[in-house]
Structure 1
Amino acid sequence: MNETTCEAVRTRARSHRARLLSVLRVQYPDALADRGYRLLHPTTGNPYAGDRRHLVATCRSIANFAVGALADGPDWCLDAAEHGLRFLREAHRADDGGYHLVVDADGEPVDRTRSAYGHAFVLLAYARAVDAGIGGGGIGGGGIGGGGTEGVERDLEATRALIDDHFRDDRGLLRSDCDPDWTEREPYRGQNANMHACEAYLAAYEATGDSEYLDRVRDVAEAIAVDLAAETGGLLWEHYTADWEHDFAYNADEPRHRFRPPGYQPGHHAEWAKLLALLDRYEGGEREGREREERGEAESDDEPTATTDWYARARELFDAAVDRGWAENGFVYTHAADGSPIVADRYGWALAEAIGASAALAERAAARGDAAEADRLRDWHRRFLVRTDLFRGPAGVWYEKRLPADADGDRVAQDPPGVEPDYHPAGAYFEGWRSARAELSDG
C-alpha cells in the first residue's frame, strides 16, 4: 500500500471515529437518567415521557459507550457505560440470574419475559464492557470501577452459561421467549435472535480471545446463513418452527409487526454480511496466530478447518440486500421472494447496517488483493453515507423510519419504550473505523 493510499485509509478511519463520537455526544449526558438511560426524541432531543426501560435499549446503550471508549473517546464514554451496567445488574437482573425485558426507573419489573433476543444483547453489553476495560463489580463482587475487569468478565461468563442452559436447543441454536420460570411461550424459532447471538459471540471473542466464542459463531452462521438459506434460494427467512422448518405463514396477516414481520428483510441480509465479513477476518486464526507468535508457540495441527468461504457468502448476502432492497432513499423493510416490496417503509437501522457491512467487506476484499471489488464496495459505502441525512433528526438522533413515497416522505420516531438509542449508527461508524484500521494493518 503506497503512502497516498495509506493516507486515504487513515482519513476514512478518522472520519468514522468522528461520526461515532458525534453520535455519542448527542446521547451524553441527556440520555442518562438518575438510574439507567432514557431515549431521546429525534425532533426535540428531549427524553421520551414515561419511565419504562427496555432491556435491549439498556444493553445497546452500554455497548454504544463502550465502543466509544474502544475508539479512544472521551473519559465520559467509560462513565456512561458503567452507569448503564449498574442499572443492568441492579434493575434488569432477576434473582435467578435471568434478565427482565422491561422495568421501570425504580427497577420494578413491568415485563418479566425472558427473551432470547434480549439476553443476546446482555452478552453483547458485557463483552463490549470487558473489551473496553471496565472493571470491578459483577456477580459476587463489589461496586463498579477499579480492580480490573474481573467482575464484568464473571458477568460475561455467567451470561454465556445462562444462554447455554436456558436458550440453546438441541441444534445449538437459540430458541425464543420464555416465561420467568423459563417455560417456552411458543414453539417458535427466529433467525433474528440467533443473528444477534452471533454478534455477541463475536464481540466476546474480540474481548477475550476465547476461541469457543468463535466456534459458536461458526455453528450458528453455518446453520442460519448457509444451511437453512439454501432452502430459500440463498435468502434468509426470518421465522421457523420448533424443529427449524421454515414457517412461511408466520405473522402473514401482520406485515408491519414491530419485531417479527413476514417476508425477507434486506437489512438483516446486510447485517449478516457484516457479521460474516468479521468471521472471515478471524477465521484464519489471525489473532490466535499473532498471539502464538508472541508466545513463541508453533501452529497447532488440530485447528478447525474452514468449511465455508465466509467472504464469498457475505458478498452474496450484501448483493441480495442491495439488489432486492435498495431504493436510493433507503432499504425497503420487507420483500417477497421475487423482490417485490411487502412493506416499503425505509428503516434507518437497515441503512446503518449496510454502512457497516460495506466497510467490513471492503476491508476483506482489499486483504484478498481484490482491488476492483474493494472499490465497488467503497462506492456503495459512500452512497449509503450520503443518505444518512434522510434519517437524522434536528436533534441529531435518527428517526426509526421514513415513509416510502419519496425522499421527502414523513419521518417516524420510535414508540416507547424504544429499543434503538442510535445503536445501529454507532455500530456502523465503529465498524467503519476499525475496518479502516484493519486495512492499514493488512497493508
Structure 2
Amino acid sequence: MTRDRTARHRARLLATLRLQYPDALAESGFRLLHPETGEPYTDDRRHLVATCRSIANFSVGAVVDGPEWCLDAAEHGLEFLRESHRAADGGYHLVVDDGGEPVDRTRSAYGHAFVLLAYARAAAAGLDGAVEDLRATHELLEERFRDDAGLFRSDCDPDWTEREAYRGQNANMHACEAYIAAYEATGESRYYDRARHIAETITDDLAAATDGLLWEHYTDEWIHEFTYNEDEPRHQFRPPGYQPGHHVEWAKFLGLLDRYGCEDESIVPMEGQYARARELFDAAVDLGWADDGFVYTVDRDGEPIVSDRYGWALAEALGAAAVLAERADFHGDEEERDRFRDWERLLADCASAYRGPAGLWYEKRLSPEDGGDPIGPEPPGVESDYHPASAYYERWRSARKVSDRQRP
C-alpha cells in the first residue's frame, strides 16, 4: 500500500510538471501560464523568484527519475538565471525582460533565498556547475545578507545599500528551506547548521514573545513591529498579521530538520523540532482553517484580516502533513501518524478547488463573503505551480521513507 502511495505521488508531481512543459518555456526563461486556458501571459517580464521556482520544479522532476525533458527544462532555466538575472557583481536582478535587460535591479533577500534553492535542487539533479553555483551563492549570502543575528537582512539597492531598517521572517523562512535543500544536495553540515539557526531563532526565540505564534515583521534589531503595513492588508509579500500558511510551511521545515537530525550523526540537531512542528501545524488550523482552505491573514486577536484562501497555503499544509505523518511513524507515535494521514487526505481532496480548467493552480479563491471566485496570478507573477509541485515531491519522499522502514 505504501509503495502504491509512493507511485501515485510521483505521478502527480510529474503530471504537474507536464502541465508546465513545454508551454512555460520561452525562447529565454520561463513564461507564466494562465490556470484557465493554459496559455502564456503576454507580459515579457521575468521575475527572479518565478525563474528559480521553475528550475526547482523541473529539477525535482529529474530527482524522481522523470522524463528527460525535466533536465532539459531545468538547464534552460539555469542558463537564463546565470546569463540574464545574474549581475556583474554576483547578485541577481529581481525582474528582467525576456531579453535579459534589467527592469528592477533590487537585490531582494527573498529572491536570493530562491536562487540558493534553485542551485540546490539543480545540484541534487546532477546538473553541470550547480554545486559550484550553490557554493558561490552561499558565500554571496554570507557576505551580503547575513546580519549580526545570523539571519537575513532586508532588500538592498544595486549597490547593496539596505533600503529600510526592516527584517522579515518570510525571506528567512525561505532561506531555511534553501539551506535544507543545500544540505540534501551536498551532505555538507554547514548548510544544515544555517537552516537550524534560522529555524531556532524564528520559531523558538522570537515566537516566545507571541505565545508561540510566528509574527512576520521586525525592526533591524529583530524587535516585533506589530503595526508594519497595517494599512496595506493585501500587500503581495509583506501583509500585516499572522499567516496560517507560513505556520504550516515552518511545520514542514521543522519536520525535515528532525528527519536529518535523526539520520545524520555528524550534525547537531535542533532540539524538540518534531514537537514544535506539530504545534505550528495545529496553530495554523486554529488560526485559519476554514474547511476549504486557510484564510490568508489573521490579526493579533484571532480575527481574519484577509479571508481569501491562497492555493500555496493549502499546498504547503499538504506537504507538511505528509512530513509529519512520516516523522510520527519514525517516532512510533501511531495516533499522530494517523491524524496527519487524515489531514493529508483531507487537504488532497480540497486541492481540486484550486486547479483551473487547464490543470494549473489558481493563486487564490476569494472568501465566500466576496463570492468565492478563483483568481489567477498577475504578471510578472511568481506562482509557477511551485507549491503544489513541492507538496507532491514531499509526499513522494515521505512515503518512500515509510516504505523503506517497512521493508524486511
* TM-score bin (small chain): over 0.9
Q: Please identify the structure whose Cα radius of gyration is greater.
A: 1
Report SS of the residue matched to 1:179.
Answer: coil
For residue 223 of structure 2, the aligned residue among 236, 239, 245 is 245
1:425 matched to 2:403:
no
Q: Within 5 A, what are the aligned runs for 1:41-52?
A: 41-52=34-45
Report SS of the residue matched to 1:44.
Answer: coil
TM-score by length of 1: 0.90
For residue 24 of structure 1, the aligned residue among 17, 24, 32 is 17
Residues 261 and 270, structure 2, Cα contact 8 Å, conserved in 1: no
Query: For residue 358 of structure 2, what is the amino acid of its counterpart?
Result: A
Query: For residue 97 of structure 1, what is the amino acid of its counterpart?
Result: G
Pick closer, same or farther for the CA change 1:385–1:408 going to 2, 3 Å.
farther
Q: Which residue of 2 aligns with 1:276?
A: 254
**Structure 1 unaligned blocks of 5 or more:** 1-7, 136-150, 290-299
Q: Which residue of 2 aligns with 1:296?
A: none
Residues 266 and 320, structure 1, Cα contact 8 Å, conserved in 2: yes
Report SS of the residue matched to 1:350.
Answer: helix
In the alignment, the residues of structure 2 paired with residue 282 and residue 338 of structure 1 have an alpha-carbon distance, to the nearest angstrom, of 36
Q: Which residue of 1 aligns with 2:151?
A: 173
Query: For residue 275 of structure 1, what is the amino acid of its counterpart?
Result: F
Q: Which residue of 1 aligns with 2:279?
A: 316
Answer with 321-330 or 348-357: which moved more.
321-330
Q: Which residue of 2 aligns with 1:214?
A: 192
Q: Which residue of 1 aligns with 2:348?
A: 385
Question: 1:69 Cα shift?
Answer: 0.6
Question: 1:269 Cα shift?
Answer: 0.2
Residues 329 and 406, structure 1, Cα contact 8 Å, conserved in 2: no
Q: Which residue of 2 aligns with 1:440?
A: 403
Residues 345 and 404, structure 1, Cα contact 8 Å, conserved in 2: yes
**Structure 2 unaligned blocks of 5 or more:** none
Q: Within 5 A, what are the aligned runs for 1:172-191?
A: 172-191=150-169
Residues 42 and 397, structure 1, Cα contact 8 Å, conserved in 2: yes
Deviations 1:325-364 (CA, angstroms, capped at 9, x unpaired)? 1101110000123322111000000000000000000000
Report SS of the residue matched to 2:368.
Answer: coil
In the alignment, the residues of structure 2 paired with residue 133 and residue 39 of structure 1 have an alpha-carbon distance, to the nearest angstrom, of 26
Query: For residue 249 of structure 1, what is the amino acid of its counterpart?
Result: T
- Superposition misfits of 4+ residues, deviation over 4 angstroms: none
Report SS of the residue matched to 1:343.
Answer: strand
1:345 matched to 2:323:
no
Question: 1:13 Cα shift?
Answer: 1.0
Instruction: Work out the percentage of aligned pairs sharing the same amino acid.
Output: 69
Q: Within 5 A, what are the aligned runs for 1:302-313?
A: 304=268, 306=269, 308-313=271-276
Q: Tell me the matched-pair count.
A: 406
Report SS of the residue matched to 1:82.
Answer: helix
Q: Which residue of 1 aligns with 2:8?
A: 15
Residues 390 and 407, structure 1, Cα contact 8 Å, conserved in 2: no
For residue 367 of structure 1, the aligned residue among 330, 337, 358 is 330
Answer with 417-426 or 407-416: which moved more.
407-416
1:335 matched to 2:335:
no
Residues 258 and 270, structure 2, Cα contact 8 Å, conserved in 1: no
In the alignment, the residues of structure 2 paired with residue 246 and residue 421 of structure 1 have an alpha-carbon distance, to the nearest angstrom, of 32
Q: Which residue of 2 aligns with 1:398?
A: 361
In the alignment, the residues of structure 1 paired with residue 125 and residue 369 of structure 2 have an alpha-carbon distance, to the nearest angstrom, of 41
In the alignment, the residues of structure 1 paired with residue 257 and residue 270 of structure 2 have an alpha-carbon distance, to the nearest angstrom, of 13
1:107 matched to 2:130:
no
Q: Within 5 A, what are the aligned runs for 1:93-242?
A: 93-135=86-128, 151-242=129-220
Residues 167 and 176, structure 1, Cα contact 8 Å, conserved in 2: yes
In the alignment, the residues of structure 2 paired with residue 355 and residue 101 of structure 1 have an alpha-carbon distance, to the nearest angstrom, of 29
In the alignment, the residues of structure 2 paired with residue 406 and residue 153 of structure 1 have an alpha-carbon distance, to the nearest angstrom, of 48
Residues 51 and 104, structure 1, Cα contact 8 Å, conserved in 2: yes
Report SS of the residue matched to 1:53.
Answer: strand
Question: 1:406 Cα shift?
Answer: 6.9
For residue 86 of structure 1, the aligned residue among 65, 69, 79 is 79
TM-score by length of 2: 0.98
In the alignment, the residues of structure 2 paired with residue 332 and residue 152 of structure 1 have an alpha-carbon distance, to the nearest angstrom, of 37
Q: Which residue of 2 aligns with 1:143?
A: none
Q: Which residue of 2 aligns with 1:145?
A: none
